[in-house]
Amino acid sequence: MTTAATRIRQIADIEDFDLQITKDGNPVDPATNSLPKFDFDRKMKGSATVSQWKSQRFYSTYAGYDCRVFYGDGKEANGNATLSTVRVSYEEE
């Protein structure tokens, strides 16, 4: 187990997008909460949606937690957004 900040960085490095981990609707304190390893070493296919990524990767690893996925401009991506659309938004900065 390690800090949420480390896990957020690890996920962002693999998946190529930023996120915020939440619990009961509130942001998880990145300095104090510990989370298990994100056990994936390759990003999910770009045609998958944010909802699919959450259900297949995030929730299976972090049961009891939720997350918000962000576009490069800081706006939250909805569940129907494809991961490729989210990722390309970081290239436009």
Residue 84 in any domain: the answer is: yes
Q: Output the DSSP codes for the chain.
A: -EEHHHHHHHHHHHHSSEEEEEETTEE--TTT-EE-----SSPPPTTSBHHHHIIIIIHHHSTT-EEEEE-TTSPBPPTTSBHHHHHHHHHT-
Residue 40 in any domain: the answer is: no
pTM of the model: 0.92
User: Please, what is the average pLDDT of the chain?
Assistant: 94
Full domain range(s) for residue 22: 2-34+45-91
Question: Is 15 a residue whose pLDDT tops 60?
Answer: yes
- Band of the pLDDT at 31, cuts 50, 70, 90? confident
Residue 11 in any domain: the answer is: yes
Which of 13-17, 28-32, 55-59 is least confident? Answer: 28-32
Residue 73 in any domain: the answer is: yes
Question: Is 23 a residue whose pLDDT tops 80?
Answer: yes
Total number of domains constituting the chain: 1
Residue 39 in any domain: the answer is: no
Q: pLDDT digit string (tens) for 70-93?
A: 999 999 999 999 999 999 999 955
